Structure 1
Amino acid sequence: MSVVIEKSMLIEKVCEKCPATRWGQKAICSVHSLHIGEIECCPEWDKHMVNEQGLKEHDGQIAFMDLEPAMEWVQRTEEELRDYHFMLREIDRLQGYLEDAGEGTVGAYGIDASMPKGKGKNGDKTHAEVVRRERKWKRLEKLQDAVERIERAAESITDEKEKTVLDAIMDGEKNNFIARQIGVSRQRYYEIKRSVIIQMAWLMYGNNEAA
């Protein structure tokens, strides 16, 4: 499901009923300190879009029990998409570290098998290295899980412009560059971006795949 809510509709539905504009009496938002026409994104807009785009009801099933966790997942999704390119590089770095440390196949690493038995200075150093490797291994697993979750969800985005926006975000491209690439205004780009993020939030967390 893909529903892009235009900015003018968000201003009408949200800004004109918000105390930050004195319920539509002021054109300057007291929260953003900007004219409402200059605002590019707002948590209150996201809340409205969550309700409009079906995060509460998806295919007849209740996805999120209330708005607060839904918004938390939207925020988490946006952060993970922004960090996707970094996570790929970090996965490569951690895999290289563990392989260079003598682990061979990274997946075979386990702290129990390599915990030192001796005592003394050398034993302490070995123990510290094992603990360090275990910490890096756990971080690697966490990053791999996040990347797999993003990639599974991305497969379900079917609109071509939304797919282009999503791929560009995951590649670490800047917002202005992405808007130019798809040939839309910056305002329209942010509308598409918010729609993509909310859809991805449902796909990544709507079935409680991750806590």
Structure 2
Amino acid sequence: MNDKLIERVCEKCPATQWGKKSICSVHNLHVGKIDTCPEWDKYIVSQQGLKDHDGQIAFVDLEPAMEWLQRTEEELRDYHFMLREIDRLQGYLEDAGEGTVGAYGIDASQPKGKGKNGDKTHAEVVRRERKWKRLSKLQETVKRIDQAVEGITDEKEKTVLDAIMDGEKNNFIARQIGVSRQRYYEIKRSVIIKMAWLMYGNDEVS
């Protein structure tokens, strides 16, 4: 993917003066050794969204690409909260008795709750079912994030990603990794784009 971005972005970037030299004056590196660049990120989100398909750059519609980015950033920011909420909901359903988690759990093919459930009011049954559906959705989102995290290999990006998922503030993260706010936002933008692709890049686009 980087090779395509070098061809499409670096060739026109004044920092490289492509054709005269292949050293980027911003990164102070040969373009082939650059891992991320804010100009690449801008290109990805502006040119109808780029995605890597079998080693080739393919275009997707702008609307779903932007939706993926926004959804990914929100879910990463809410990751710490989602873990706490999963624990809370599991505790509620376990305390409700009748093996509610087992009856309505993710491994069950259909609800099997019996016993005291039959004596509960309809409103209580509906309430429990609503909580179970929310629990299931949160678990699915957390699983999707956890799987995508394994695809992030850059150490600074992994550090930023972990801190975001822990609920840390932007300024605090920048100080912790010892970079300027501008550089931090460049790293953050890069990791969110990568996570969006890893989390939603294989979804069907309507």
- TM-score by length of structure 2 reads 0.70
Amino acid at match of 1:88: L
Of 138, 141, 149, 2:144 maps to 149
Measure, in 2, the Cα distance between the counterparts of 1:95 and 1:205: 27
Q: Specify whether residues 178 and 58 from structure 1 end up closer, same or farther in structure 2 by C-alpha distance, changes over 3 A only.
A: farther
1:55 to 2:60 alignment? no
Aligned residues: 168
1:130 to 2:128 alignment? no
Measure, in 2, the Cα distance between the counterparts of 1:107 and 1:209: 32
Amino acid at match of 2:81: F
Q: Which has the higher contact order (CA 8 A, sep 6+)?
A: 1
1:97 alignment partner, SS class: helix
- TM-score by length of structure 1 reads 0.68
Q: Specify whether residues 117 and 67 from structure 1 end up closer, same or farther in structure 2 by C-alpha distance, changes over 3 A only.
A: closer
Q: Specify whether residues 117 and 210 from structure 1 end up closer, same or farther in structure 2 by C-alpha distance, changes over 3 A only.
A: farther
The answer for the alignment partner of 2:155 in structure 1 is 160
Q: CA deviation at 1:68?
A: 1.4
The answer for the alignment partner of 2:74 in structure 1 is 79
1:192 to 2:187 alignment? yes
Measure, in 2, the Cα distance between the counterparts of 1:117 and 1:183: 55
Of 60, 66, 71, 1:65 maps to 60
Measure, in 2, the Cα distance between the counterparts of 1:76 and 1:136: 22
1:69 alignment partner, SS class: helix
Of 172, 195, 202, 2:197 maps to 202
Alpha-carbon contact 2:98-2:116 (below 8 Å) kept: no
Amino acid at match of 2:89: L
Measure, in 2, the Cα distance between the counterparts of 1:176 and 1:200: 21
Unaligned stretches of 5+ in structure 2?
A: 14-39, 105-109
Measure, in 2, the Cα distance between the counterparts of 1:152 and 1:161: 19
Amino acid at match of 2:127: R
The answer for the alignment partner of 2:165 in structure 1 is 170
Measure, in 1, the Cα distance between the counterparts of 2:136 and 2:205: 13
Q: CA deviation at 1:103?
A: 3.7
Amino acid at match of 1:178: I
Unaligned stretches of 5+ in structure 1?
A: 14-44
Q: Specify whether residues 95 and 117 from structure 1 end up closer, same or farther in structure 2 by C-alpha distance, changes over 3 A only.
A: closer
1:208 alignment partner, SS class: coil
